[in-house]
Amino acid sequence: DSGVTQTPKHLITATGQRVTLRCSPRSGDLSVYWYQQSLDQGLQFLIQYYNGEERAKGNILERFSAQQFPDLHSELNLSSLELGDSALYFCASSSTGADSPLHFGNGTRLTVT
Amino acid sequence: GESVGLHLPTLSVQEGDNSIINCAYSNSASDYFIWYKQESGKGPQFIIDIRSNMDKRQGQRVTVLLNKTVKHLSLQIAATQPGDSAVYFCAESPQYGNKLVFGAGTILRVKS
């Protein structure tokens, strides 16, 4: 068990809808990362937060947004969903901003129909 | 651990043999490298890491080798067990950053 908790485990929704994925990092970790894993793209970095502030941005669509709250949990919001957004979404956390391993949750499987 | 990717390379080994999984990384500025194991239905699990000022690091049954000259990373698993069956990813991070970039992955199948 990595200590990173993601909810929900599964989400099925229709195109055009909006969903929120939630992540609780390991106790004491200040950095939270979101990754998308699809069959044809592998693990793609979306965005990183450190202690409530956005630290780095990757291949995150404008329809997607995230935030990290004062209690350090994070939410990833996906809107105007398309079929191609179906994927596994992973949250990871680490203790510092550099040179420390990321610890991943077990992901949220999003299916857009 | 085989649900990720349709065209991942596969390494099949006999139980008890040693496994070597290779990874070519792309960014010569990367200075931190990690190996992850992903089993079906789970998130990537940290195995071992290495910094660019080292060329070898050992853990329990695992060894990571780094060759910066040819930008190559390998993971050696000793006495491979059925529980080692999974997809293995290498990941690299640029200097002063922690934005991990993942490789495509390798499927390891252990035959009993």
User: Mind telling me how many Å the CA of A30 is from chain B's nearest CA?
Assistant: 13
The nearest CA of chain B is from the CA of A26 a distance in Å of 14
pLDDT digits (tens, 9 = 90+) for A73-98: 999 999 999 999 999 999 999 987 56
CB-closest option in B5, B31, B98 to A94:
B98
Contact between residue A5 and residue A105 where contact means Cβ atoms under 8 Å apart? yes
List all residues 6 or more positions away from A61 whose beta carbon is below 8 Å from its beta carbon: none
Residues in chain A closer than 8 A to B104 (CB atoms): 42
Residue-level pLDDT at B106 = 95
Dump pLDDT digits (tens) for A4-55: 999 999 999 999 999 999 999 999 999 999 999 997 778 999 999 999 999 9
Return the sign of the alpha-carbon dihedral for residues B107, A109, A103, A94. positive
pLDDT of B95 reads 62
pLDDT band at B98 (very low <50, low <70, confident <90, very high): low
The burial of B62, by beta-carbon neighbours within 10 Å (0-12 exposed, 13-18 middle, 19 or more buried), is given as: middle
* Contacts for B107 with CB less than 8 Å, ≥ 6 apart: B1, B2, B5, B8, B9, B10, B11, B86, B87, B88
Which chain A residue shows the shortest CA-CA distance from B47?
Answer: A101
Average pLDDT, chain B: 90
Asked if B100's CB is within 8 angstroms of A99's CB, the reply is no
| Cβ neighbours of A9 (radius 10 Å) | 11
Distance (Å) from the C-alpha of residue B105 to the closest C-alpha of chain A?
Answer: 8
Region B35-41: mean pLDDT is: 95
Q: What's the pLDDT at B9?
A: 92
Nearest by CB to B99, which of A58, A90, A101? Answer: A58
From chain B, the residues in CB contact with A33 under 8 A are 99-100
**Burial of A5 (C-beta count, 10 Å sphere; 0-12/13-18/19+):** middle
In the structure, what pLDDT confidence band is assigned to residue B2 with cuts at 50, 70 and 90?
very low
pLDDT tens for each residue of B10-30: 999 999 999 999 999 988 889
pLDDT more than 70, % of chain B: 91
- Mutation pick from B30, B51, B98 vs chain A, by most beta carbons of A within 10 Å, is B98
pLDDT at A99: 72
Name every residue whose Cβ is closer than 8 Å to that of residue A75 and which is 6 or more positions away in sequence. A20, A21, A22, A23, A66, A67, A69
Partners of A43 on chain B (C-beta within 8 Å) are: 44, 89, 102
